[in-house]
Amino acid sequence: MNRLLIPLTLSFVLCATAAAKEKAPAPKVVHVVIQFTVDSDGVPRKIKFVKPVGKEYEKSVLDAVSKWRLPKEYAGKRVEQAFDFVDEPKKEAPNQPAQTTPGS
C-alpha cells in the first residue's frame, strides 16, 4: 500500500451554546486516518476510516476528502492518509445596534 502524506488542517465551526458565551472552550484537534482508492481522474473513492473519528465528524471528513484531486500516477492505487483537523467553536459576532425601520 502506498502512503501519501498531505499536510492538511481542516477547520470546522460548531454552534456556540449559552454556556460557551461565558467560557470559550478550547479547540479540539481530531486525528483522522483514512484509506481510499484513487480513480483514473485522481478522485478518492471507497473511502474508509482506519481510525474512527465519531459520527459528528464523519460526514465533514468525507465531504472534504471527496473534493481532493490526486496526481494521475496514483490512479488505481490504494492510499492511506493521516491528517489532523481543528474543531473550533463558533465565535459570536459583536453586539450590533438594533435595526429600526422608518416610521416605527
Q: Model confidence over 32-75: pLDDT tens digits?
A: 999 999 999 999 999 999 988 989 889 989 999 999 999 989 99
Domain interval for residue 44: 2-89
| Residue 97: inside a domain | no
Coil/strand/helix, residue 59: helix
| Residue 100: inside a domain | no
| Residue 8: inside a domain | yes
User: Domain count of the chain?
Assistant: 1
Looking at residue 34, its amino acid is I
All three cell numbers of 63, joined, read: 465531504
| Residue 101: inside a domain | no
The cell 459583536 sits on which residue? 94
12-16, 24-28, 87-91: which range is least confident on average? 12-16
